[in-house]
A and B are shown apart, each in its own frame.
Chain A
């Protein structure tokens, strides 16, 4: 059974770039789509974007200008880079798996908290 584990810096300064990685274990990274979702404290979940094993990507339009998703199949991990951070980017960040783009998110990582502060 696929398991996901996020890793990241925890604290990032305003205007800097956030880099997060999600490691995949217990299954193949090559057959699915891989999503990023975030949740500010007490607020609803926000889908950030998705990269599929085919190489196709979709980004949330509200983040697209600052966002890059990548996939490392040999390393069994996928990554997020978000530039020009502000306090509004402070949130819990999750990675999640879907079988195809229209499928639900059937497996989630435990999440990694990111705070943007000087």
Chain B
């Protein structure tokens, strides 16, 4: 299995802060990497796919970068509505899709 490891596990940010979350794959996954946002009691929501492509209707303050094994999700200016848990996911091996353990982002 391809292991997906996120860091940090949790962080807090003030409104307007630039926030960066990283995801590392245990092997090369090219750009088969997606990011999801999950709020308590809700289903995950797709934010970024193909490592850097913004899903429709997702605010432009969200961006993704990376390829190979190292990836980054960036929020350029943190807003209270961005408080959530963020997961990365690879779809490189379509017979064994795995997710990162999640990064909990809270407002400071």
Q: Which chain A residues have a beta carbon within 8 Å of chain B's beta carbons?
A: 44-47, 50, 58, 60-61, 94, 98, 101-106, 108-111
Are A44 and B97 in contact (CB-based, < 8 A)?
A: no
Asked if A47 contacts B98 (CB within 8 A), the reply is: yes
- Chain B at the A interface: SS class: loop
In the complex, how many residue pairs between chain A and chain B have their CB atoms under 8 Å apart? 51
Q: What residues on B are CB-neighbors of A109 within 8 Å?
A: 43
| A94 x B43 contact (CB < 8 A) | yes
Q: Is the CB–CB distance between B87 and A102 below 8 Å? A: no
Beyond contacts A103-B49, A104-B46, A105-B44: 13 other A-B pairs, Cβ-Cβ < 8 A, are: A47-B96, A47-B97, A58-B94, A58-B95, A94-B44, A98-B91, A102-B91, A102-B92, A105-B34, A105-B36, A108-B43, A108-B45, A111-B43
| Interfacial residues, chain B to chain A (CB-CB below 8 A) | 32, 34, 36, 42-46, 49, 55, 87, 89, 91-92, 94-102
Minimum CB distance partner of A105 in chain B: B46
Q: Within 8 Å CB of A108, what residues of B?
A: 43-45
Distance A50 CA – B101 CA, assembled complex (angstroms)? 21
Interfacial chain A residues near B99, Cβ < 8 Å: 44-47
Majority SS at the chain A contact face: loop
The answer to whether residues A104 and B89 also contact, given A44-B99, A45-B99, A58-B94 and a CB cut-off of 8 A, is: yes
Q: Least Cβ distance of A39 to chain B in Å?
A: 9
A104 to B96, Cβ gap below 8 A? no
For A58, A94, A98, A105, which residue has the most chain B Cβ atoms within 10 angstroms? A105
